[in-house]
Amino acid sequence: MSTIAHRVYDDRTPLTLDRSDLPSRPDHETVLLVSPTHFAVRYRINPYMGGRVVPGRALDQWMNVRRAYERYANRVRIVDPDEIWPASDGAVPDVPVSLLPDLVFAANLAVPTADGGGVVLAQMATDERAGEPQHFQRWALDDGYEVESLSTTAAFEGTGDAIWHPGRRLLWGGYGVRTERAAYDELAALLDTPVVTLELSDPHYYHLDVCFAPLTEDTALIVPEAFTAAGRARIDALFDRVIEVPEHEATGGLACNCHCVDDDHVLLASGNPETERRLQAAGFTPVPLDTGEFQKAGGSVCCLSLLLG
Ligand code: ARG
């Protein structure tokens, strides 16, 4: 096992592993959600961003997403952004939560360790979101999680780009738009895991979680147009079954930003009938949820959640 433990696979490193070589990993059973108190669209850092968020509607949609997670996930933790600031030690974060409208997208704040008892904090690629991880760090420490940070300055946007393979000790690493490839060398060591990278270049697929959703240990939902041929080959090598999202539902309805929390129910944005049909044909149960207000910021169900142990 030790020879593959920290390897980072990319286009220059032939994939020499088989899923059965990878140690199994317990599921991350806690879903963390951040209340949408300060959610708004105030800048444009991805091509989807635009329009005016209606706060009441955003809160209703977020409550429905929350209820769906409460129904299908084992544990749900809600973070109220106003309750993590100021901190008990009196230190004042650089940017108040009221000026961080994307903080609701919990996926980007960190990646959990393999057993979920710790996190590696994100280092946002954009100035607009740079202040967010500091708030999450405060909450995570308070709640008893071990918190680590990268020693390099490479951009790293948490589980938006770094996604654990369900049930196995393997991390999928998207890079090229937000997260930088260099982050994965250190993440592989910190998390003691092999990393299979996937290069992204289309700004519509600015995070891996808008074009790649590992539903179960053997099945992934992907947007084929997002990947290079070599990247696609790595996905095909490690999943037995790959379901494709049609491009118009991926970019028009963020259909791939979905979450399968129990190997059966797939929480996804409503308005994506073809993706629902394909999920159903593969034996999954789609749970459509209106995330229209969050799509004005380029996010949907998966972006709103962070898995922890
Ligand atoms: N406006 C946010 C951004 O561009 C949306 C983040 C969505 N999160 C995700 N994991 N895809 O950063």
8 Å CB contact between 58 and 294: yes
What b-and-e string marks burial along 142-179, b requiring 16 or more CB atoms within 10 Å of the CB?
Answer: eeebebbbbeeebbbbbbbbbbbbbbbbbbbbbbbbbb
The ranges assigned to domains in the chain are: 24-308
**pLDDT for position 86:** 57
The response to whether residue 34 sits with its C-beta less than 6 Å from ligand 1 reads: no
Residue 288: asked if its preceding bond is cis (omega within 30°), the reply is no
Q: Is residue 256 annotated as part of the catalytic site, yes or no?
A: no
Q: Best mutation site among 32, 44, 46, 124 for ligand 1, i.e. most ligand atoms within 8 A of its Cβ?
A: 46
**pLDDT for position 4:** 65
Show pLDDT as tens, one digit a residue, over the chain (309 residues): 445 678 999 988 889 899 999 999 999 999 999 999 999 999 999 999 999 999 999 999 999 999 999 999 999 999 999 886 555 666 778 899 999 999 999 999 999 999 999 999 999 999 999 999 999 999 999 899 999 999 999 999 999 999 999 999 999 999 999 999 999 999 999 999 999 999 999 999 999 999 999 999 999 999 999 999 999 999 999 999 999 999 999 999 999 999 999 999 999 999 999 999 999 999 999 999 999 999 999 999 999 999 999
Which amino acid is residue 85, in one-letter code? W
Q: Which of 135, 204, 207, 265 is catalytic?
A: 207
> For ligand 1, what atom is nearest to the CA of residue 161?
10
d(CA 117, CA 112): 7
The response to whether residue 108 sits with its C-beta less than 6 Å from ligand 1 reads: yes
**pLDDT for position 83:** 82
Distance 173 CA to ligand 1 centre (A): 16
**pLDDT for position 57:** 98
Around Cβ 242, how many Cβ atoms within 10 Å? 16
Q: Is residue 165 annotated as part of the catalytic site, yes or no?
A: no
**pLDDT for position 3:** 52
**pLDDT for position 2:** 44
**pLDDT for position 1:** 40
**pLDDT for position 90:** 67
The response to whether residue 217 sits with its C-beta less than 6 Å from ligand 1 reads: no
Class of domain 24-308: alpha beta
> For ligand 1, what atom is nearest to the CA of residue 46?
4
Maximal C-alpha separation, the chain: 54
**pLDDT for position 248:** 98
Task: Find, among 223, 222, 220, 300, the residue nearest to 268 by Cα.
Answer: 300
